[in-house]
Amino acid sequence: MRGSSKMDVNEKRLLRNNPLFVITIACLLALLMSAISFYLYYNSETRRTVELIQQNNQQLNLDEVSDKLPEKLSKEYLDQVEKDVINEVTSHSTDFEFNPEDLSNSSLGL
Amino acid sequence: MRSAFLSLLIITLSFFNLSSYAVAQYSDASTLFREDARAARLNSLNEQFDISLSDEDRALISLRCTTAQSALTKIRDRAKVVREGRTSTYANVVSGLTILKAIFERDQLDSSMLDLLIVSYQQKTTTFNGELEGFIVALNDAIEINCTQNPNEFMLFLEGTRLQQEEVIQASRAIDVLSATVLPSTFVSLRQRYDAWELQNGR
């Protein structure tokens, strides 16, 4: 009984000292970590954002919009774009357009 | 001559018959698909909400539900108008920002912040559009059901519209937050970059 446990310990020591075994384990660990990293990246918001930016850049054709571009970039132009965007988005009101009260039993006459 | 005319008539009629059969088959299939999807939505709502109406409630709902369906129709029509308006708004926003990005690229200024802002608007508006579409579908479910015969199902679909409206509000608020926080801070950074660029180019 004692003899067989001594043999086990010896076998384990042999495995630990075997460089091929250590390298294989390290490679497997590296592979596993790469797979996990890839999986996390693939399912992340970052990947979707990067892909969308790439897609936008591919679709952006400077020739198509060249007639809309001012000759010179100016602070006034930046202010105007910001103002236009704010005007556009504030033209909608969440509270007014989607009022939960509209769907209440009393409002529906139930 | 007559036989040729008859053959032509038979061929035309056969073609007409075949095409109307195909149309009928297609519309049957789409109706079935729609009904299946509606049944699935009803099952899902049944699992989420426990609606047990008393006989008195059932009678009351059966009596009043057609008025409620008229009100829901108005809400659906308004939601469709909102959809049109918002689609155009967000297209204008993205287009305005894209043109600004083009100018930044032309003048070799860093436009990465604009990239992120544009993508944020695109992602948030896609989510909003999906939720709004779901809201319209939920409203259609509540409008199209025979509510006098099925008051329980009608109430379930009504809960579905309320649930879906919350999702729409959440998605809309996300766009509001983006416009109130990320948009101004992006423009502050853009102005700083512009100032540095102007200084560098001695304009």
Q: What is the DSSP string of B90-133?
A: HHHHHHHHHHHHHHHHHTT---HHHHHHHHHHHHHHHHHHHHHH
pTM: 0.74
pLDDT at B120 over 60: yes
Q: Which residue has the higher pLDDT, B176 or B105?
A: B176
- Best B78, B97, B103 member to test A by mutation, with max A CBs in 10 Å, is B103
Distance (Å) from the C-alpha of residue A76 to the closest C-alpha of chain B?
10
**C-alpha span between B9 and B197 (Å, rounded):** 77
Does B98 contact A56 at a Cβ distance shorter than 8 Å?
Answer: yes
User: How many CB atoms sit inside 10 A of residue B25's CB?
Assistant: 10
Of the listed ranges B43-47, B86-90, B102-106, the least confidently predicted one is B102-106
**C-alpha span between A64 and A72 (Å, rounded):** 18
- Selected residues 156-175 of chain B with any CB under 8 Å from a CB in chain A: 158, 161-162, 165-166, 168-169, 172-173, 175
Three-class secondary structure of residue B165 per DSSP: helix
pLDDT at B164 over 60: yes
Three-class secondary structure of residue B161 per DSSP: helix
Rounded (5°) CA angle A47-A51-A52 = 120
Q: Which residue has the higher pLDDT, A31 or A73?
A: A31
User: How many CB atoms sit inside 10 A of residue A52's CB?
Assistant: 18
CA proximity to A97, closest of B68, B141, B163, B81: B81
Q: What is the pLDDT of residues A68-108, one digit of tens each?
A: 667 778 889 999 999 999 999 999 888 889 999 999 999 99
| Percent of chain B with pLDDT strictly greater than 70 | 83
**C-alpha span between B83 and B74 (Å, rounded):** 14
Distance (Å) from the C-alpha of residue A64 to the closest C-alpha of chain B?
10
Task: Over range A48-66, report the average pLDDT.
Answer: 73
Note whether B172 and B116 are within 8 A (CB).
Answer: no
The dihedral region occupied by A109, where left means phi > 0, alpha psi between -120 and 50, and beta the remainder, is: left
Q: Is residue A93 less than 8 Å (CB to CB) from chain B?
A: no
pLDDT at B131 over 80: yes
Q: Which amino acid is at A86?
A: I
Q: Is residue A67 less than 8 Å (CB to CB) from chain B?
A: no
- Selected residues 6-45 of chain B with any CB under 8 Å from a CB in chain A: none
Closest to B97 (Cβ–Cβ): which among A49, A73, A85?
Answer: A85
Interface pTM, i.e. ipTM:
0.71
pLDDT at B66 over 80: yes
Binned at pLDDT 50, 70 and 90, residue A26 comes out as very high
Radius of gyration over every alpha carbon of chain A, rounded to an integer in angstroms: 32
Binned at pLDDT 50, 70 and 90, residue B137 comes out as very high
Contacts A107 to B, Cβ<8 Å = 71
- Best B62, B100, B101, B114 member to test A by mutation, with max A CBs in 10 Å, is B100
Q: What are phi and psi of A47, to 5 degrees?
A: -60, -45
